Amino acid sequence: MVDFLNLIRNENMKMFRAPRLFVMLGIVLALVIAISSVWFTVDKGQTAMWEVIITETMFLYWIVTIFAVIVASGTVAEEFSTGTIKLLLIRPWNRSKILLSKYISSLLFALFFAIVFLASLLLVNWIFFDLLGNGESVERLSQFTSMSNSEYMFKYYGLLFLNTVMTVTISFMLSTVFRSSVLAIAMALFIEIVVNNLMQLLAFVKYKWIDYVLFVHLDLTKFVGGNVASDGKTLGFSLSVLGVYYVIFIALTWIIFNKRDVAS
């Protein structure tokens, strides 16, 4: 167990010591500050803080997913492209442990960025719309639910993060199978920008097979107000479908990585 934890620590050191981390953090923080400051200047602090936070989350959270995907896609593919995968495999760790350490580290990086993004939203908008605002705004975020605004926001954010986990897993699989971080990143962008929007339209088409298409279930935020969405699907059913795909992706990743010849 100690050796495995050391593996994860080594992977985390690679991720968190890379210069790109500070660039990513700077981009996230700059976008949050810029949008909140412009909103406050135009609105004069009339909008409720939680309303600003949920709106910015809707428009900016995809950046968290893309940054997590960039890191996850490179963690295996770069080992092959630089030839360092051979050095890893000659050490006293089996392939499964090496791959699992990289996958867990990728998820931890995604979690780290999600927390940083949420903390930035809360802090910046608390300063602008609570400390500097005039206090006359009306909290409208959860007016149609029995949840408090904070409960609504954290549930919404948690469902968003499940989407990130699936997208990171898909990218990790692609980068492992094809040894190409570019392909994995491109696929993630395609999923986030194109496929998700198209599949939300297909979800209302009356064909039973569409209910089992992965991309129809990636947007879990439609369940934030309850366990049944407007299209009739339940949260349990969507999680079950995602769970089946998740097992398939993980199995493919491990089988192909363990059987791959890295001698050449």
Q: What are the extents of the domains in the chain?
A: 2-197
Gyration radius of the chain over CA positions: 21
Point out which residues pair with 234 in neighbouring strands: 228
**What mean pLDDT is predicted for residues 44-56?**
83
Average pLDDT, the chain: 81
Burial label for 204, CB within 10 Å (0-12, 13-18, 19+), is exposed
What's the Cα-to-Cα distance from 46 to each of 40, 41, 55, 138, rounded to whole Å?
Answer: 8, 10, 15, 8
pLDDT bin (cut points 50, 70, 90) of residue 81 is low
The per-residue pLDDT for 25 is: 92
Beta carbons of 110 and 75 less than 8 angstroms apart: no
Question: Tell me, what's the pLDDT at 242?
Answer: 94
Say if CB 192 and CB 65 are below 8 A apart: yes
**Range name among 6-15, 16-25, 128-137, 224-233 with the lowest pLDDT average:** 128-137
Residue 115 has pLDDT above 90, yes or no: yes
- Which of the four pLDDT bands, split at 50, 70 and 90, describes residue 124? very high
Output the six-digit token pair for 240: 């079950």
Q: Residue 1 corresponds to which tokens in the numbers above?
A: 């167990």
Contact (CB, 8 A) for 103 and 50: no
The residue that leads in pLDDT, 197 or 35, is 35
Identify which of 86-90, 247-251, 256-260 has the greatest average pLDDT. Answer: 247-251
Residues above pLDDT 90, as percent of the chain: 25
Q: At what angle do helices 49-82 and 95-126 cross, to 10 degrees?
A: 150
Give, to the nearest 10 degrees, the angle between helix 181-190 and helix 149-178. Answer: 140
CA distance 204 to 24: 37
Proportion of the chain above pLDDT 70, given as a percent: 78
Tokens of 90: 């000659």
**pLDDT: which is higher, 120 or 8:** 120
Mean pLDDT (whole number) for 95-110: 88
Query: By mean pLDDT, which of 22-31, 37-46, 71-80, 166-175 is the weakest?
Result: 71-80
Q: For residue 213, what pLDDT band results from cuts at 50, 70 and 90?
A: confident
Most confident option among 55-64, 188-197, 228-237: 55-64
Phi, psi of 147 (to 5 degrees): -80, 155
Contacts of 166 (CB under 8 A, 6+ apart): 214, 218, 242, 245, 246
Residues 6 or more apart in contact with residue 246 via CB below 8 angstroms: 166, 169
**Can you tell me which residue has the tokens 């129809």?**
216
- Residue 141: pLDDT above 60? no
Phi, psi for 234 (deg, rounded to 5): -105, 160
> Token pair of 170, please?
């898909």
67 phi/psi in degrees, rounded to 5: -65, -40
Averaged pLDDT, 177-181: 76
Q: Say if CB 251 and CB 177 are below 8 A apart.
A: no
Least confident of 91-105, 108-122, 159-173: 91-105
Higher pLDDT, 137 or 30: 30
The single residue listed with the structure tokens 């780290």 is 112
3-state secondary structure of 56: helix
Tokens found for residue 31: 């976008």
pLDDT of residue 137: 44
Residue 135 has a pLDDT of 46
Is a pLDDT exceeding 90 seen at residue 98? no
Q: Which of 52-61, 136-145, 206-215 is predicted most confidently?
A: 52-61
**pLDDT at 107 (0 to 100):** 93
